[in-house]
Structure 1
Amino acid sequence: MSDTRQNPTAPGTPPPPDRPAATVTTAEPEGPAAATVTRRRLLSTAGAAGAAGLALGAAGAAAYTTARRPAPVTALTTVGTDAVPFHGARQPGITTPAHARGHLVAFDLVPGAGRTEAAALLRRWSAAAEALMAGEPVNARTGAEGGTGTPATGGHDTGISLDAGPSSLTVTFGFGHSFFDRTKLTAHRPAALDPLPAFSSDRLDAARGEGDLWIQIGADDALVAFHALRTLQKEAGAAARVRWQMNGFNRSPGATDQPMTARNLMGQVDGTRNPKPADPDFDQRIFVPAKVPAGTPEWMADGSYAVVRRIRMLLDDWERLSVARQEQVIGRRKSDGAPLSGGTETTEPDLDKLGPDGKPVIPVNAHARITRPDTNGGAAMLRRPFSFHDGIDSDGTPDAGLLFICWQADPLKGFVPVQRKLDRGDALSAFIRHESSGLFAVPGGARKGEYVGQRLLES
């Protein structure tokens, strides 16, 4: 698999303290690390460390006593050096630990553009993504004599993230339902990409949903993430135009002194029950097998499906509730994410436990009860969201919430059954609004010498 850090956590060990514990996943073992930290960055880091040592020596014994306290495992100054390889059996950005900053963007091919133009575009995008994820100037990889295709912009790097390292940047590409009509590849469109059913809680804006092509960008530095967004927009050239774009964020690496599951904008611990690569059925739930099942096109081998939803949180209404009432809606304690039935965050909720009043301790319409896989026929999906805040309305209401992204081997067995059940009686539904939606087929990763989607576009 391709989501391999250059400094990966050993399998079976807790995640480093700068990552949410429940949403962090272990490194995927397939493919060599394609990116390396440049000598200049290593020397500058070493120089900074040396300067700190000189200052320490001049500060005297009192400073030395303070400095002897154990240092954090991962210092903020090391964030930029982490790199994720572009090439591999699976695309990066799926099981990669949650990023501090993200951009989601969908493109439509321009009228008259078809399969040939799409193939050239994916070549350019793949070459640019490979360079960006290695922390290299784009023109170093994508120039006329430098790799997988001449870029539409001439390969001039804007220098937006100059001086920064790769910062764990990942770029992930997907295809929407309409892409196959535009490229006359409908015979290769997977059945799992059929449009999602309508849900009663939907208040969808069609202009901010779906799209021919989808890109997910994630990084632990905001300038690195924007640099990737701007570069890929320019590399689209005359072949495609932006349909919609959304910006998101998460807790920054190093913000907590121990592994913790991230909180959403409601203040709730969010992601406790995410599937983990150590689960025996993780791969079969999240990824299309390398040997694809009957009826699934070969180009989707090692791929996955992403459901993307912009979910606005009605924060004013939510924050009027007492903490006790919020906990009843979710079914977990707000302080530590533990189920109301007792234990710690990772304790299995006891759905049969009754309180002194004879009622279930975890209410029958609590979000945590309704979303449990064992109450949904085993349906599971890997949630890897970003929070968003797009300003404050004229009445003072924040336009904020969750850019929900979930990954599964088949959305009809993952997202759809869970959302249908939530639609029928989730207590949280009164405090959220689904405002846009998209479903994208995300092919397997590009191996060395390939571009993403090549097995589809050159089939």
Structure 2
Amino acid sequence: MSGNNKGKKSDKSGKGAEERTAGGSGNHGALSRRRLLGGVGATGAAGLVLGAAGGATGYAATRPEAPTALTSVGSTQVMFHGKHQPGITTPLQTRGHLLAFDLAPGGGRKEAVALMRRWSDVARRLMAGEPADGGAADGTAHDTGISLDAGPSSLTITFGFGHTFFDRTGLADRRPPGLDPLPPFSNDRIDPKHSDGDLWVQIGADDALVAFHALRAIQKEAARSTRVRWQMNGFNRTPGATARPMTARNLMGQIDGTGNPKPTDDDFDRRVFVPAGTGSGYEWLAGGSYAVVRRIRMLLDDWEKLPVERQEGVIGRRKKDGAPLSGGSETTPMDLDKAGPDGRLLIPDNAHSRISSPEKNSGAAMLRRPFSYHDGTAPDGTPDAGLLFICWQADPLRGFVPVQRKLDRGDALSPFLRHEASGLFAVPGGAAEGEYVGQRLLES
């Protein structure tokens, strides 16, 4: 269902996490380029990598009235430019916003180019801890000031294009086959009004105000040329809330994401990112990925009635530490053939972890990077809460679709889940210096 890996350092080839920076105090409130971070919980799909200090001081740190050095959480910066867009292998963040937009009536490629230029400029500034409008260093220009006093706080802003975007911009011949609509599944209760969209934006940060600041900036830049189709807001555990870095838990209380692909895996890039040399007009997607987005409501009242032993059987892992029921620790490979004294399989035939494992899906895997959500109480009095499921793969027909089909045929967890919204987006590769996201498509 969700994904998360312990921190790993990236090599210089670009494999692994996006570059991230942080520092301590220095002259005139600037953050030192030499001070390394300590005690940051890398609870996402990849670890912490130090790069050039750049704007990691954040515009709050340069204000005369705020000379105190930021904490490591606030000062951590993710690079905007790179081979891949940020927010894919970046460690899980505390707060997230997902939005989809439709181009306004009459809008087309010209409007899309102008919007992606503006969005990319705003994302680059905000991720460096600068004002959204590039105004005065003290943030007194036209920036809203929502995140004054905070640094970059691991902010990432990621952009993607939906199936309809290519028709609206006259680029239907550049639409890749991986954007073909997802097939229906038996557990779907999909609301079309909260699904799909021409454009998709993912915002994540380790501070709620920093994330909201980015949300408002993105919305303001889009107001002239788009209409918001839907928005979803999510959260994860705060870095440092646990005694040691740990795989995240979901709202069912389960450790969730143990089996995620790791950037250190030999086949990680092949599974997650679209390779160069795809040809047929799809070169613009090289270094990019496909994001499947699902709003999955958890039927928590029903789930919480189950005893822990039954919950563990449904998942196939111990609730306390995430270890497989076949024995060992969280990271011990599952022994799918191991039976107990009674001859029954220790990991049941219909356990979620068994059915979704690559071993049972011809090696199919995806990088799961979710947020939890809680939107109050549903009309029936039950919690409107669950998972904003986001998974990344080089080809959804070889990643999400075969695994979900297998789960659809007998997963023990399915009776406790309801898929209520869905989207599939092509996410271009990262923008090089001087480029905007999607330029290689829109100016092809």
**Same fold by TM-score greater than 0.5:** yes
**Shift in Å, 1:141:** 6.8
**Shift in Å, 1:294:** 4.2
The equivalent of 2:244 in structure 1 is: 258
Check the 8 A contact 1:18/1:257 in 2, yes or no: no
The equivalent of 1:111 in structure 2 is: 105
The equivalent of 2:296 in structure 1 is: 311
**Shift in Å, 1:295:** 4.0
- RMSD value, Cα: 2.3
Structure 1 segment 137-156 matched on structure 2, within 5 A: 137-140=131-134, 156=142
2-structure distance, mates of 1:313, 1:296 = 40
Uncovered stretches (5+) of structure 2, i.e. residues with no partner: 1-13, 24-36
Check the 8 A contact 1:18/1:256 in 2, yes or no: no
2-structure distance, mates of 1:47, 1:122 = 35
1-structure distance, mates of 2:386, 2:59 = 40
Matched, 1:77 2:63: no
Aligned equivalent of 1:320, options 283, 305, 319: 305
Matched, 1:353 2:338: yes
Matched, 1:183 2:169: yes
Secondary structure of 1:139's counterpart equals: coil
Matched, 1:422 2:416: no
Matched, 1:396 2:404: no
The equivalent of 1:99 in structure 2 is: 93
Aligned equivalent of 2:128, options 128, 131, 134: 134
Check the 8 A contact 2:60/2:148 in 1, yes or no: no
2-structure distance, mates of 1:296, 1:388 = 38
User: Identity rate of aligned residues, in percent?
Assistant: 68
Question: Any idea what the Cα deviations from partners look like across 1:366-416, whole Å, max 9, x if unmatched?
Answer: 001011111101101000000000011344311000000000000000000
The equivalent of 1:69 in structure 2 is: none
2-structure distance, mates of 1:38, 1:177 = 36
Are the structure 2 counterparts of residues 339 and 446 from structure 1 closer, same or farther at C-alpha, using a change threshold of 3 Å? same
1-structure distance, mates of 2:204, 2:231 = 14
The equivalent of 2:10 in structure 1 is: none
1-structure distance, mates of 2:130, 2:66 = 20
Check the 8 A contact 1:18/1:258 in 2, yes or no: no
1-structure distance, mates of 2:266, 2:135 = 39
One-letter amino acid matched to 1:245: Q
1-structure distance, mates of 2:397, 2:151 = 39
The equivalent of 1:246 in structure 2 is: 232
2-structure distance, mates of 1:365, 1:20 = 32
Matched, 1:436 2:430: no
Check the 8 A contact 1:336/1:345 in 2, yes or no: yes
**Shift in Å, 1:4:** 1.1
The equivalent of 1:3 in structure 2 is: 18
Check the 8 A contact 1:191/1:296 in 2, yes or no: no
Are the structure 2 counterparts of residues 200 and 39 from structure 1 closer, same or farther at C-alpha, using a change threshold of 3 Å? closer
Matched, 1:41 2:27: no
Aligned equivalent of 1:120, options 101, 114, 120: 114
**Shift in Å, 1:83:** 0.7
Q: Which runs of 4+ in 1 moved over 6 A?
A: 42-47
**Shift in Å, 1:361:** 0.6
Aligned equivalent of 1:25, options 43, 46, 55: 46
The equivalent of 2:8 in structure 1 is: none
1-structure distance, mates of 2:190, 2:347 = 31
Are the structure 2 counterparts of residues 402 and 287 from structure 1 closer, same or farther at C-alpha, using a change threshold of 3 Å? same
Secondary structure of 1:118's counterpart equals: helix
Moved more, 253-262 or 329-338: 253-262
- Give the paired residue count: 412
Check the 8 A contact 1:34/1:87 in 2, yes or no: no
Aligned equivalent of 2:360, options 365, 375, 394: 375
Are the structure 2 counterparts of residues 46 and 234 from structure 1 closer, same or farther at C-alpha, using a change threshold of 3 Å? closer
Secondary structure of 1:427's counterpart equals: coil
Q: TM-score scaled by structure 1?
A: 0.86
Check the 8 A contact 2:101/2:230 in 1, yes or no: yes
Check the 8 A contact 1:288/1:301 in 2, yes or no: yes
Are the structure 2 counterparts of residues 324 and 20 from structure 1 closer, same or farther at C-alpha, using a change threshold of 3 Å? farther
Uncovered stretches (5+) of structure 1, i.e. residues with no partner: 9-14, 50-75, 143-154
Larger Rg: 1
Secondary structure of 2:116's counterpart equals: helix
2-structure distance, mates of 1:87, 1:455 = 14
Are the structure 2 counterparts of residues 451 and 34 from structure 1 closer, same or farther at C-alpha, using a change threshold of 3 Å? farther
Secondary structure of 2:71's counterpart equals: helix
Secondary structure of 2:331's counterpart equals: coil
Secondary structure of 1:172's counterpart equals: strand
Are the structure 2 counterparts of residues 34 and 7 from structure 1 closer, same or farther at C-alpha, using a change threshold of 3 Å? closer
Moved more, 401-410 or 232-241: 232-241
Question: Any idea what the Cα deviations from partners look like across 1:57-114, whole Å, max 9, x if unmatched?
Answer: xxxxxxxxxxxxxxxxxxx932111111111111000000000000000000011000
Check the 8 A contact 1:119/1:457 in 2, yes or no: yes
1-structure distance, mates of 2:424, 2:59 = 41
Aligned equivalent of 1:385, options 354, 361, 370: 370
Matched, 1:159 2:145: yes
Check the 8 A contact 1:128/1:141 in 2, yes or no: no
Are the structure 2 counterparts of residues 110 and 137 from structure 1 closer, same or farther at C-alpha, using a change threshold of 3 Å? same
The equivalent of 2:395 in structure 1 is: 410
**Shift in Å, 1:237:** 2.7
Check the 8 A contact 2:313/2:347 in 1, yes or no: yes
One-letter amino acid matched to 1:133: M
**Shift in Å, 1:285:** 0.5
Matched, 1:288 2:282: no
Check the 8 A contact 1:249/1:387 in 2, yes or no: yes
Check the 8 A contact 2:55/2:130 in 1, yes or no: no
